[in-house]
Amino acid sequence: MRYVQEFRDPKAAQGVLRAIEAVCTEIGCTADDPLRIMEICGGHTHAIFRYGLDKLVPAGIEFIHGPGCPVCVLPMARVDDCVEIAEQPGVIFCTFGDAMRVPGTRKSLLQAKADGADIRMVYSPLDALELARRNPDREVVFFGLGFETTTPSTALTLQQAKREEIGNFSVFCNHITVPPPIRALLEDPHMILDGFVGPGHVSMVTGIHCYDFVADEFGKPIVVAGFEPLDLLQSVLMVLRQIAEGRAEVENQYARVVPEHGNPVSLAAIADVYEPRPSFEWRGLGEIDASGLRIREGYRAWDTEAKFGIGYGARPKVAEPEGCACGAVMTGRMKPVACPQFGRGCTPDTPLGALMVSSEGACAAYWTYGGARAVAAAE
Amino acid sequence: MNALTPKPSRHPSRLRGDRVTLAHGGGGKAMRDLIDEVFTSVFEPAGTEDQARLMHSALQAPGAQLAFTTDSFVVTPVEFPGGDIGKLAVCGTVNDLAVGGAQPLWLSAAFIIEEGCEITLLRRVVASMAREAANAGVRIVTGDTKVVEKGSCDTLFITTSGVGVIPAGRDMAAANIRPGDAVLVNGVLGDHGATILAARGDLALSSPIESDCQSLNALIEAVLAAAPDARACRDATRGGLASALNEMAAEAGVTVTLEDADLPIRDEVRGMCELLGLDPLYLANEGTLVMFVPEKQAEAALAAMRARPEGQGAAIIGYAAAAGPIPVVCRTAFGGTRIVDMLVGEQLPRIC
């Protein structure tokens, strides 16, 4: 358990919390005029609530929950595409578990499975490739989804499929990248952010220099963070120190896992298999330039879009449900509990908006770890 | 007379082939042979009556209550480290009776078998049921067999019903829970759920964890002897400890505060949960119970649990308090608190 227990040590946490308080006093941030720090990654949002860190830090720090849950930001039209592919005869549709419940216009993948579609929950794209090997008479589609964390494994699987010439396998590519939405948020005049806690898992692949623009162009500190409670507290302290000292830099708190220049094998696989799409839709945020990846020409035979004739953007965009405030929550303009649908029309049982769908969405985290009940109690 | 362990037959098997076919469910000779050789020779060798006729002196004691329960068991794979569907079916029903304060006596077992199921597998499962019934001191006295077409069920489903007696004066119910009561568990949490996840094979995880599948009636009797005022008990099966506690707290009208640091969870289970984005408090258990005991008897109850093999990992994990807005909360080692809510749907492994 090295690398875990020492990052959950309550005594060490107390020390970091005292240091955070001291820097907050030095900066002069208060509950009325808080520093707004965005954690980009859904895993961080989840950890903040799981360990009650939001209640432990001084009132002068406000966590803004960013768009870093790939399941949450998946546009509804793409879910509709998935359901349509999965319902075609002869198809075995493979997906990660947490994408099963995302609502489409007609139904979620979970509902499509109940209606008879052959949808399998897998833990790795290699499992889907193995299914294709074992079922040569079936068409196996893997739902490629996620940030740079999962993108390399799909790329390596596609390379393997090409090497072995497995013709009944393809990837429905919905991979997205982290830096473009950060830029979009920073360019949004409504956004007021003082610093970022950067995504640890993504940065294992990309390294830390893809965030240079955050510091250089926008003058905001960003600290790449691990997922244990002490990692997060230390990262917050590092952001605060930069602010107190008038610095804006990219720092790496998660250096035990994140190499400065990323993972060259993964980066090479990504470059070989994918190219950026001109634009990709993010649920709650809209179209963002060069934020999505598509499969290159050389892998066309394994591209579900080519194989099934599904063009990106061919399906009309689906408007968010009435009253859904996911966009405002993701840009820090509204707290989940302030959304008129939170806990009323929108619950994890019946998710209406994106952020209630996956356990790592901000609204689901609020719901799971206290928000909904606290609201009900206050009412 | 109930033969609780399978005996090797002196006669050659009358069963043709090594797999169950639809003929074995057709009501004719093939079915008779299957029932005789695989089931009744193990559970209840004599007689062909379609009902069990039972006498028990405890039933006639003034104030005694009859307890009756039923449950169906479906699990993939049907054999896993630490158990199989048959052991699960006996333990599950024995425990359903025992957590209500009943002493389990008799079980029924109904089998839905998929065409093509291996007869040797069926024999292993039935032998395992017989062994667990002997361990728990219950008898399997009646049953049923159906064979369904390939694809209509997943290898084998078992439904067990159970009858037991609650002795006069014993009253175990969530409504009895009072503020101040200690919350105990008899062992580590999440082992069964983690074992099944690993055993499905699609995770490519090799895990040393075994299911905690076990009968708890003897443990509960031992605890009740040491802590006679124990209020209520549930087995933390599907939905895990979190779901069991939420149900009990809501029924009793109390708030339960758990101490994160006191929750007995194996490092391996924690690790697997971290990897998959699951919460061990929601993982299924098949041999773990949660019990509310008045604070004065809590240490005695804990000692009684730890004195039994089924209670080696027992711990006091929290206390009940007057009702607040939230039924179950957990205090983290950092001094923060988090809500432990009911599970929504099924826990689904996350993407990254």
ipTM reported for the complex, 2 dp = 0.70
Inter-chain touch A98–B345, beta carbons under 8 Å: no
The answer to whether B339 faces chain A, any CB pair under 8 Å, is: yes
- Give the model's pLDDT for residue B12: 64
Which chain B residues are Cβ-neighbours of A50 within 8 angstroms? 332, 338
pTM (2 d.p.): 0.81
Inter-chain touch B352–A146, beta carbons under 8 Å: yes
- Give the model's pLDDT for residue A1: 41
Closest CA to B87 of B38, B139, B53, B129: B129
Three-state SS sequence of B61-91: CCCCEEEEEEEEECCCCCEECCEEHHHHHHH
For B94, what's the count of Cα atoms within 13 Å in the CB-facing half-sphere? 30
The answer to whether A159 faces chain B, any CB pair under 8 Å, is: no
Instruction: Determine which of A96, A109, A369, A379 to mutate to test the interface with B (most B C-beta atoms within 10 Å).
Output: A369
Chain A residue nearest residue B332, CA to CA: A51
The answer to whether B267 faces chain A, any CB pair under 8 Å, is: yes
Cross-chain CB nearest to A1 (options B267, B334, B341): B267
Cβ-Cβ contacts under 8 Å between A and B: the total is 97
Which chain B residues are Cβ-neighbours of A52 within 8 angstroms? 332, 334-338
Inter-chain touch B351–A98, beta carbons under 8 Å: yes
Question: At what angle are helices B295-306 and B217-226 packed, to 10 degrees?
Answer: 140
The answer to whether B326 faces chain A, any CB pair under 8 Å, is: yes
Q: Specify the residue for token string 């049923």.
A: B144
Closest CA to B265 of B212, B220, B307: B212
Strand partners, B234: B290
Alpha-carbon distance A217 to A124, whole Å?
Answer: 37
Inter-chain touch B334–A150, beta carbons under 8 Å: no
- Give the model's pLDDT for residue B350: 66
Chunked mean pLDDT (size 10), chain A, 379 residues: 64 91 95 94 87 89 89 89 96 92 88 94 91 97 94 95 97 96 90 93 94 97 93 96 97 94 94 96 90 97 96 83 81 84 83 78 81 55
Confirm if A200 and A227 have CB atoms less than 8 A apart: yes
pLDDT digits over A131-181, tens only? 999 999 999 999 999 999 999 999 999 999 999 999 999 999 999 999 999
Inter-chain touch A123–B325, beta carbons under 8 Å: no
User: Shortest Cα distance from B334 to chain A (angstroms)?
Assistant: 5
User: Under 8 Å CB-to-CB from B315, ≥6 apart: which residues?
Assistant: B184, B185, B262, B263, B264, B302
Which chain B residues are Cβ-neighbours of A15 within 8 angstroms? none
User: Shortest Cα distance from A246 to chain B (angstroms)?
Assistant: 30
Inter-chain touch B344–A349, beta carbons under 8 Å: yes
The two beta strands, A222-225 and A195-199, are parallel
Element (H, E) at B323: none
- Give the model's pLDDT for residue B352: 56
Alpha-carbon distance A221 to A197, whole Å?
Answer: 9
Inter-chain touch A150–B351, beta carbons under 8 Å: yes
- Give the model's pLDDT for residue B4: 44
Strand partners, B160: B71, B109
- Give the model's pLDDT for residue B99: 96
What are the backbone dihedrals phi and psi of residue A103, each rounded to the nearest 5 degrees, phi first? -70, 135
Which chain A residues are Cβ-neighbours of B345 within 8 angstroms? 101, 348-349
CB burial class (10 A; 0-12, 13-18, 19+) of residue B304? buried
The answer to whether A118 faces chain B, any CB pair under 8 Å, is: no
Which chain A residues are Cβ-neighbours of B338 within 8 angstroms? 49-52, 369-370
Closest CA to A135 of A89, A100, A166, A165: A166
Inter-chain touch B338–A201, beta carbons under 8 Å: no
Per-residue confidence in pLDDT tens, chain B, 352 aa = 343 444 555 556 777 778 998 888 888 888 888 888 888 888 865 655 677 888 888 888 899 999 999 999 999 899 999 999 999 999 999 999 999 999 999 999 999 999 999 999 999 999 999 999 999 999 999 999 999 999 999 999 999 999 999 999 999 999 999 999 999 999 999 999 888 888 776 555 666 788 989 999 999 999 999 999 999 999 999 889 999 999 999 999 999 999 999 999 998 898 888 777 788 999 999 999 999 999 999 999 999 999 999 999 999 999 999 988 889 999 887 777 788 888 766 777 666 5
- Give the model's pLDDT for residue A371: 58
User: Shortest Cα distance from B110 to chain A (angstroms)?
Assistant: 26
Inter-chain touch B352–A43, beta carbons under 8 Å: yes
